[in-house]
Amino acid sequence: MGRRVLVVDDEPDILDLLTMLFEDDDRCTVVAAVGELDAAVSAAVEVEADSIVLDLMFGHRTSVEILPALRRARPEAHIVVFTSSRRAAMAAGVLDLGADVVVQKVSVSFEALTDLVLNPQIALPEQRPQPCRTVPRD
């Protein structure tokens, strides 16, 4: 069966494309494809997703709204945020809220995206670089 993948994107063409590409890989099983943010958390729980591929932008909303709920609902799931945003601050915020990795749509091949979905050890929270802290001097 392979990894159980939930795909969440508000663009029907992207949702269909990602679903088709993951289904063509024997190592993945797309257990749900969801086009609405409000349905993503319940879908993740219902289908017991191992990996979640989540678009960042949903019209005037962002998946930032649901990341903490997704992480609480499926703490063991590998969450890959897939975005066209190039803002580093946005990516850092997404990681802080529970995503395991953020991938820019324009800079990743489907093979690389599949590797991220199939390999949860890539960019696990404990492997992320920690922010620098100022150490007081005596």
Q: Is residue 105 a part of any domain in this protein?
A: yes
Mean pLDDT score of the chain: 82
- Give the model confidence (pLDDT) of 37-69 as tens digits: 989 999 988 999 999 999 998 888 888 889 999
Q: 6: pLDDT confidence band, cut at 50, 70 and 90?
A: very high
Q: Is residue 60 a part of any domain in this protein?
A: yes
What average pLDDT does this structure show over 71-87? 86
Q: Is residue 116 a part of any domain in this protein?
A: yes
State the pLDDT at residue 130. 38
Whole-prediction pTM: 0.81
Q: Is residue 88 a part of any domain in this protein?
A: yes
Looking at the structure of the chain, the number of domains it has is: 1
In order of 25, 59, 125, 137, the CA distances from 99 in angstroms are 23, 20, 8, 35
CA dist 122 and 125 (Å) reads 9
In order of 34, 52, 91, 123, the CA distances from 75 in angstroms are 19, 11, 20, 15
Q: What is the CATH number of the domain that holds 108?
A: 3.40.50.2300
Strand order in the sheet with 78-83: 28-34, 3-8, 51-55, 78-83, 101-104
